[in-house]
Amino acid sequence: MNVLFIVSDDLRPALGCYGDLVVKSPNIDQLASRSVVFQNAFAQQAVCAPSRVSFLTGRRPDTTRLYDVHSYWRVHAGNYSTLPQYFKENGYTTMSVGKVFHPGISSNHSDDYPYSWSVPPFHPSSEKYENTKVCKGKDGQLHANLLCPVDVAEMPEGTLPDIQSTEEAIRLLKMMKENNSKFFLAVGYHKPHIPFRYPQEFLKLYPMESITLAPDPDVPKGLPSVAYNPWTDIRHRDDVQALNISFPYGPIPEDFQRQIRQNYFASVSYLDMLVGKLLNALDDTGFSNNTIVVFTADHGWSLGEHGEWAKYSNFDIATRVPLMFYVPGMTAPLSHPRDRLFPFIDLFAQVSKPLPQGEPKEMVELVSLFPTLAELAGLSVPPPCPKTSFRISLCTEGQSMVRYFPSAKGGHESSDDEGKPHRPPIAFSQYPRPSDTPQLNSDLPLLKDIRVMGYSMRTAYYRCTLWLGFNPSNFSVDWNDVHAGELYFAESDPNQDHNIYRSKTHGHLTKKLCRILEH
């Protein structure tokens, strides 16, 4: 089996196949119809570099020791093998296109080449314009805006980064067809990451009258101040600065809130179009019957829920991601060579809404991608990491998700190959803060400034988060120094608006429910 690994940036499960009634995503929905779609998949930290390094190494942020974007795990934590490196060492040609690793120090300014990749990673030449003044404002001038629908022909180089990445990925697929060798191709899309710079025609899919506010646009009364993220990155954009919004709680004017949501949804549809072209090329090259396809994101993104925007929190809305696996002959029958599994669907034609995919519903984690893909490809699954694993190059802190696949033998097994019981499906995440109250660096504090670490646990029934004292000089957490806590029950409070951690009524339950976090 070959592997096509598609990762998007800042994509919450705002897709038709996840039951979203607004977003138009027919090509990703088509992939979902042939895949196992996990309904409850969570990132281990809701910011790009820590999340990507975590799922590409199969280690949690406390083991990679990366909570910001300023260290390289092989130097500052341990010489851990990565998912693509493991495939490379097992005879695969491994290739990276676009944003797979986070660029910069966190991947050694090389996307971890040559360890992880057989050839130098590809980065689109037009990505250097992503945060420059290329957005035409109402005044006719160019700005560095948050909202940036564009005429692609007027852009520098006449293109956009994700368009270039799709073209390169398709070129590589054609090349691999000629080479006749097994491959691991990772394609990282920038969108829907801010700025929302995308072809302007996608805005037409979302008339403003169809755009609502978030269902819970106010900051919850019981939310600890340490848990709140003040969305400083979008405040730096020219169009947001012009609104003169107070720090840290805002709020953003309602009409602009709707515009943000509208542009996010349009960016998702732009992404869907590109994914559709890439999957269509999988058909064109004849790889649909022997290529595993994974589609996911590094974390979610708040669109006004709890009065928050962007990522940078432990809420479901920031940590939950889409996750689906297409495995030929397992999640869908093998097709006739002339049949097309992934014909391109034009978003601007009449598109019927898909039925949401219902299984599986277990809580799973992105840190489990490494062992899952290894098992699906028929490779040896890396062994579980011991409690301390800084000197161990190959092990995983995740668990293979294959046992949750509906077609897996016996359905949902309760133990691994050695007979050891699996822990109940629980997803863990964490987020650092520099203080108990929102600061200008609360969203992405430097390691040296971290004083509080929020550890969060999501089960099928509740989410518990404890904000604990943290010492960045030795990476230690003081479990007796609880700065704040959060507890939400999924059935009665699905949007996590009513924190009952300090509730006298539920006080006897709090310690019991959150105790697992300490272990």
The burial of 265, by beta-carbon neighbours within 10 Å (0-12 exposed, 13-18 middle, 19 or more buried), is given as buried
Place of tokens 């960016």: 267
Q: Minimal CA–CA distance to 196: which of 232, 233, 167?
A: 233
Residue 385 is among the residues annotated as catalytic for this protein: no
Structural tokens at position 315: 């809420």
The helix or strand, by DSSP H or E, that contains position 242, with its residue range, turns out to be none
Catalytic site residue from 17, 76, 102, 299: 102
Catalytic site residue from 17, 48, 385, 464: 48
Q: Minimal CA–CA distance to 426: which of 367, 375, 483, 480?
A: 367
Dihedral angle at the C-alpha atoms of 66, 71, 73, 75, nearest 10 degrees? -140
Who contacts 227 (Cβ-Cβ below 8 Å, separation ≥6)? 313, 314, 454, 465, 467, 484, 486
Residue 48 is among the residues annotated as catalytic for this protein: yes
The helix or strand, by DSSP H or E, that contains position 516, with its residue range, turns out to be helix 507-518
CA-CA distance, 43 to 496, in Å (whole number)? 17
CA-CA distance, 79 to 103, in Å (whole number)? 18
Alpha helices in 67-211 (DSSP H): 73-76, 83-89, 161-179
Which residues are catalytic, by number? 48, 102
